[in-house]
Structure 1
Amino acid sequence: MLFGSSAVFPDLELVHYSEQFGQVPQTQILFGQGTVKIRIVNHGKLPTDPMTVSVSDFNVLMRQVGPPASVAKLKPDGSVEVTFKMDMVIPPPKSQLGQQQQFDDWKAQYASSHGVDLRGQMKWSGPPASTPMNDRREVRFYTGYGDSTACQEGSHTIGNSPPEKADCDADVCVTVDAVRRSIHQRLDCRVVGYAAFISGPGKAGEFATYGKARTSANGPVVDFTANTKITVASVSKAVTALAAIKSLAKKNVSLDAPIGPHLPKDWMVDPHVAAITFAELLAQKSGIRDYGNTTLDYAKLKTFFTQKVNPNAPTNCNLPSVIDPKDAIVSDPVDRTKYCYSNYNFAIFRILLPMVEGFQDTDPAQRAERLAAKYVKIVQANVFEPVGLKNVDCKPPMGSKSHALAYAFPGNAAGHDWGDNTLQCGADGWYLSVDDISRVLISLNRKDEKVLTDTQFKEMISRGLGWDLTGVGRYQYVEKNGKWSWGSTSVSTSILIFGPTSPGPAFLGVLFTNSDVVPEGIGAATVLQDAFLSAARSMP
């Protein structure tokens, strides 16, 4: 048999996908159906070959009803539309409860799979004697929950998928393309805008972006890019931790040293507060039980850290909704070092780092402003400038009309501008782009010691300084996330180092979004972690 030249396939575009679920009238029979219409279009300069086209759901939630569609040759710019019917794939029964239990199991699988993953399969159907080597082609054209929207239709196909190669470090293999695709599938047309960064071990990495940093509701439309500045909320804690580790080392101050000598001299500090160490603050194990979900300016920090510690203070961690609880610092030596998330633990570094570096209190009336300005310079000098970044700040760039605003999806209403956060920066408030923080993570991952030495970075990881998560299940990783909300608007951010950092290098991930994610209502951390976990496998 002689094989012909390469097949000429068209593109597949989604016209519309819809789902229908219900119960057959006057029966107990439940049903689930889907209807998908696709456009088969020739964007090339040559006629396409004859073929058959079928649709499958990679998540095995829906199954095509009926045979493939036969498509004749298409001239350049020619197109044809085809409609397919699909039925839900009912799981096998687990009990005597019958179809209702099966239906509930299907819905649970639907939710855990984040909806359907529809793909079109094209199979060459010309004369057998001329069969080409590439006689099949697959195109992903819809992933998600429920009916497709206009944003997901037309030319918004996810695209053809070349073979994917996994990258491996010392412990785990990850298909980076699958991570990127997962983020696109989860977020495209479901948030106002985002930027992401994904990198394999020792690789330069790649960016993925979608949507708008600013919509027409706030004047000229601005695309969300890898260089878009956005307030990163609590990802700022990782930034503060990096600066603290490096600054303390330069001044020969131990992470396990007490903070008392480095607080303003006119603060009347309880001995239990003075004994808190820098490491305890950075690890969220300081005995502070107030979440601190409020503006932590200088006056607020002074009031909190000069309170009298009650030896009988309750040991429970307060929820974010509890504002200014009484007796929010625990003195018991065992309870004091239990993990309890608090913004106070990091906001106080806006005071501590300048004091450690010899702040001269020559103008007490302007102490708050001068301490904040000094803190910003310390972070710039220790974290951002070593990797070539200038003027990274706790406020938008001067005169900026392009930094991301916070929106409620789909961004039809005006977004919220968080403005200048300098006087409350530390636990939150930094304005970063995905490119900014990716450069810092790349430096840490390469162990070039521009930001931290290898020993310092290992200690940061092992002690959980500045991170939220340190390893889940069979995979080791650290992650820091943040979210700020104003009314119905929100921003959500996450940075991730996936895989062992020693000997390393590991995988890196960054994701910043400027709205809620519909319909799931999840944040950047969930999207980023799920993307890596679903694309990972252990080394054999």
Structure 2
Amino acid sequence: MFRNKLHRLMGTALLMLLVGVINSCQKDPDEPAPTKPMTWFDSFGKALDDSLKLKKIGYGYVILEGAEVRASGSGGFKSRSNEAEGEKPFTLDTKMHIASMSKTITTMAFLHLAAEKGIKTTDKIAPYLPPAWVKGENIDQLTFRDLMTHSSGIIGLGNNCANGAYSENIWSGLQQLVQRGIRITNRGKYCYQNANFGLFRVLIPSILGYSFTGDDTLDDQQTQQRYMEYVQQSVFDKAGITSANANQPSGAPTYAYTYPSAQESGWNAGSFTNTVGGYGWYLTPTEAGKLFATVLSTADQSILTTAWKDTLLTHGLAYFSGRVAEGPIRYHDGWWYLRLAQYQGVRTVWMQFPNNVTAVLFVNALHGTRGYFPSDDGNDIVTYLSRAYTLARAAKTGRKMGGTVTLEHPEPH
């Protein structure tokens, strides 16, 4: 009996001990969670948030290391209260026209197709132009690489290097540019032209085997459709992006505004299906971050093999170069606007920093008088993003990073 009582007492003591251990492992619901140390990525994002949210414009950014999102944020509105759709927040899932960031996407699609078809970037484009188009002087000399580096010699219908938009990127505009030809002395010289990439809307379907009918309306419609389908299949699908489009989401547009904000209605840029190529794709900050990081900052080869990535990066295809204190950067910005009394528009950029860090930033407003990124100190989007990166890295390392941001082509694109 004594032994049984002893066993019961020992069992009770053991049970109480176990309960105490379990209770000690349970978190007190009123106890604050331990503070997570702030990384330099957090500091990078905070610098963007702190300045952008005060401007009351729509914005979204994503910062990735390799394929991993390290910081992100958004704020403001894609649609304000005076629009028919009412007040709607700008989020990381807001679709916005990415403007000339589209050029890098067109290049990804072409390089993917070139790998499939055994085409080199130095091959001539003339065999893939519509047979009914009149080929002007020296068009037979142009290569795909000439187009992707803005060194084709195409200088626009105005016979100058002012970048054309709508009229030079619809079917008839591209046709006229080809018929005008190029001066051989202009070939090889940098001249930024949307039409260099607008031509891929015609060239990619031709490489895929489209037989031109000579009916301009039909050929235009068919090449638009086939170009967009191929970009979706070869680029967007492989990055897990299922809803890319060259038009605003139905019933949920992202408006473009002016800064400082007035009470004016925003601008809906609408559809770019008949000019997409050099500009025109709509993506979210999340989608754009994922796409550009996957291709440029990871070993993933589903869109471009390592060899074709090297081709893109070695020859500067559809991107610009620059340098910050820590090393070289690559980027392509986007710019789209309407100017009435003031500028209304969007400004976008993807940027690859050292150590496979990729950042994407969208804003849906332009400075009303300057027409560039809505900063108060005159910095445009590329410089603004680069300096935020540099300041965050300096805070992390504890050492001052001197020098200024240097850019190959600092003008907006």
Name the TM tier (shorter chain). 0.7 to 0.9
Whether contact under 8 Å (1:494, 1:525) holds in the other structure is yes
Across the aligned residues of Structure 1 and Structure 2, the Cα RMSD in angstroms comes to: 2.3
Alignment of structure 1 residues 191-270 onto 2, 5 Å: 191-201=56-66, 203-219=68-84, 220-270=86-136
Distance 2:183 2:324 in 1: 29
Counterpart position of 1:427: 278
Change (3 A) 1:451 1:471: farther
Q: Which consecutive residues of structure 2, in runs of 5 or more, have no partner in the other structure?
A: 1-29, 157-161, 367-373, 400-413
Distance 1:202 1:431 in 2: 21
SS at match of 1:208: strand
Pairwise CA distance, 1:509: 0.1
1:393-444 CA-to-partner distances (Å, cap 9, x unmatched) read 11123x232x311011325211000111100111111111111111212322
Counterpart position of 2:209: 358
SS at match of 1:469: strand
SS at match of 1:199: strand
**Normalising by structure 1, what TM-score?**
0.60
Counterpart position of 2:163: 292
Residue-pair matches, total: 344
Pairwise CA distance, 1:513: 0.3
Task: Identify the structure with the greater strand proportion.
Answer: 1
AA paired with 1:222?
A: K
Change (3 A) 1:531 1:507: same
Change (3 A) 1:521 1:411: farther
Counterpart position of 2:254: 404
SS at match of 2:312: helix
Alignment of structure 1 residues 53-202 onto 2, 5 Å: 163-165=37-39, 175-201=40-66
SS at match of 2:106: helix
SS at match of 1:422: coil
1:494 aligns with 2:349: yes
Whether contact under 8 Å (1:215, 1:411) holds in the other structure is no
Alignment of structure 1 residues 314-353 onto 2, 5 Å: 329-332=182-185, 336-353=187-204
Counterpart position of 2:393: 536
Distance 2:214 2:137 in 1: 27
Whether contact under 8 Å (1:231, 1:432) holds in the other structure is yes
Pairwise CA distance, 1:474: 5.0
Distance 2:184 2:57 in 1: 45
Change (3 A) 1:305 1:292: farther
Pairwise CA distance, 1:356: 0.9
Distance 1:228 1:419 in 2: 15
AA paired with 2:88?
A: V
Partner residue of 1:463 out of 292, 296, 315: 315
Distance 1:217 1:518 in 2: 24
AA paired with 1:489?
A: Q
Matched residues, percent identical? 24
Q: Which consecutive residues of structure 1, in runs of 5 or more, have no partner in the other structure?
A: 1-44, 47-160, 166-174, 309-328, 501-505
Partner residue of 1:450 out of 286, 292, 302: 302
Asked which structure has the greater RCO (Cα within 8 Å, sep 6+), the reply is 2
SS at match of 2:230: helix
Counterpart position of 1:104: none
Distance 1:217 1:352 in 2: 42
Counterpart position of 1:302: 175
Distance 2:213 2:71 in 1: 47
